[in-house]
């Protein structure tokens, strides 16, 4: 059974779930005390988080996703959406904040990421296949005093992500968490 079927989601675009709501609310709380600037939401899916941030904060919000169907849904929400692989096309130091709800579910290494929902959910064998390159590259697009807000699951291992952040020159601070029967979701704030 594929990941999309297990989660009861549509097959083309990740729709808001518990992780989306936790990250959206936490990002608003954390960023509302900062001076407004440019914000990038990576892996926007349906655009729910980006739209929530745009509604609640006086920031210039841009969203991105590798999935063209997700970009279309985000544009339908009125968002400026860019088709992108993580932070690849964006200029150095162009954002004051980056928010990301990555694919974090550990999956069988023999399972292929062969449809858009698999890409949205599968974090590879360790759950870190997308988180690791994000943490390694997000610093390039952040302004000097910029911050990244990242959701991580206990299934992936929060200590592993904290270690990756340290290797990339960030301090990772747990700023929110929510427990479920099968996992605990933690929101990390990455600062230099």
For the segment 102-144, what is each residue's pLDDT rounded down to a tens digit?
987 778 766 666 677 776 676 777 888 899 999 999 999 999 9
User: How many structural domains comprise the chain?
Assistant: 1
User: Would the pLDDT of 1 be above 60?
Assistant: no
Give residue 9's pLDDT.
Answer: 46
CA distance 102 to 153: 10
**What CATH number does the domain containing 39 carry?**
3.40.50.150
- Find the domain containing 29 and state its range: 3-191
- For residue 111, how far is the Cα from the chain centroid? 22
| pLDDT tens sequence across 13-40 | 989 999 999 999 999 999 999 999 999 9
What is the pTM assigned to this prediction? 0.90
Question: In whole angstroms, what is the distance from residue 102 CA to residue 161 CA?
Answer: 12
Note the pLDDT of residue 2: 45
> Exposed, middle or buried: residue 169 (CB in 10 Å: 0-12, 13-18, 19+)?
exposed
Q: What pLDDT score does 152 carry?
A: 96
Q: Helix, strand, or coil here: 109?
A: coil
Listed in sequence order, the residues at least 6 apart from 163 whose beta carbon sits closer than 8 Å to its beta carbon are: none
CA 158 – CA 138 distance, rounded (Å) = 18
């Amino acid at each position: 059974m594929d990941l999309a079927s297990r989660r009861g989601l549509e097959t083309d675009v990740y729709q808001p779930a518990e992780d989306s709501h936790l990250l959206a609310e936490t990002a608003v709380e954390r960023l509302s005390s900062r001076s407004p600037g440019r914000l990038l939401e990576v892996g926007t899916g349906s655009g729910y988080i980006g739209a929530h941030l745009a509604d609640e904060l006086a920031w210039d919000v841009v969203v991105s996703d590798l999935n063209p169907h997700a970009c279309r849904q985000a544009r339908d929400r009125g968002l400026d959406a860019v088709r992108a692989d993580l932070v690849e096309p964006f200029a150095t130091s162009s954002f004051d904040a980056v928010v990301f709800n990555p694919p974090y579910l550990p999956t069988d290494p023999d399972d292929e990421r062969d449809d858009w929902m698999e890409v949205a959910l599968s974090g590879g064998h360790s759950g870190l296949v997308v988180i690791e390159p994000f943490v390694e590259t997000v610093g390039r697009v952040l302004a000097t005093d910029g911050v990244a807000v990242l959701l991580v699951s206990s299934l992936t291992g929060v200590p592993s992500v904290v270690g990756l952040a340290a290797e990339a020159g960030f301090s990772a601070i747990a700023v929110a968490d929510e427990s479920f029967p099968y996992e605990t979701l933690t929101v990390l704030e990455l600062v230099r």
